[in-house]
């Protein structure tokens, strides 16, 4: 069972997607994202969210991501953060986002 201390080790923050590109090299349909975390900088992520979101839908959208996992190499792309979402019963990902506009880099508690 996870503890509150386990949760507190995660650095989960608000970001804004500033760029979206197709990622044809990925095994599963994905996008390459550039995400602005304000004073924490711009990070990259690979996200399997092509089923519910177009590139146009994503640009400018606020998201929530884990920012302190080690980078993961995915088909030659260095994914630096894990964008969070709910997995539907159809195995589609619905992105988590702040209920209201938040400052980029705000910590999730």
Residue 11 lies in a domain: yes
- Residue 47 is part of a domain; what is its CATH number? 2.40.50.140
pLDDT tens string 6-19: 999 999 999 999 99
Residue 84 lies in a domain: yes
Residue 104 lies in a domain: no
Residue 87: band (very low, low, confident or very high) from pLDDT cuts 50, 70, 90:
very high
Secondary structure letter of residue 5 according to DSSP = H
How many percent of the chain have pLDDT more than 90? Answer: 99
Mean pLDDT of all residues in the chain?
97
Let me know if 42 is exposed, middle or buried by CB neighbors in 10 A (0-12, 13-18, 19+).
middle
Count of structural domains within the chain: 1
Q: Are 58 and 17 in contact (CB under 8 A)?
A: yes
Contacts of 11 (CB under 8 A, 6+ apart): 66, 67, 68, 107
- Residue 31's domain comprises 4-95
pLDDT tens string 59-86: 999 999 999 999 999 999 999 999 999 9
Residue 91 lies in a domain: yes
Residue 82 lies in a domain: yes
């Amino acid at each position: 069972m996870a503890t509150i201390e386990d949760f507190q080790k995660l650095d989960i923050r608000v970001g804004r997607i500033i760029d979206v590109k197709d990622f044809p090299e990925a095994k599963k349909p994905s996008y390459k994202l550039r995400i602005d975390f304000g004073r924490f900088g711009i990070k990259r992520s690979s996200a399997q969210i092509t089923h519910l979101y177009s590139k146009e839908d994503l640009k400018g959208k606020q998201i929530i991501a884990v920012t302190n996992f080690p980078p993961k190499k995915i088909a030659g792309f260095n994914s630096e953060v894990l964008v969070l979402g709910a997995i539907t019963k159809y195995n589609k990902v619905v992105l988590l986002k702040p209920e209201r506009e938040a400052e980029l880099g705000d910590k999730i508690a």
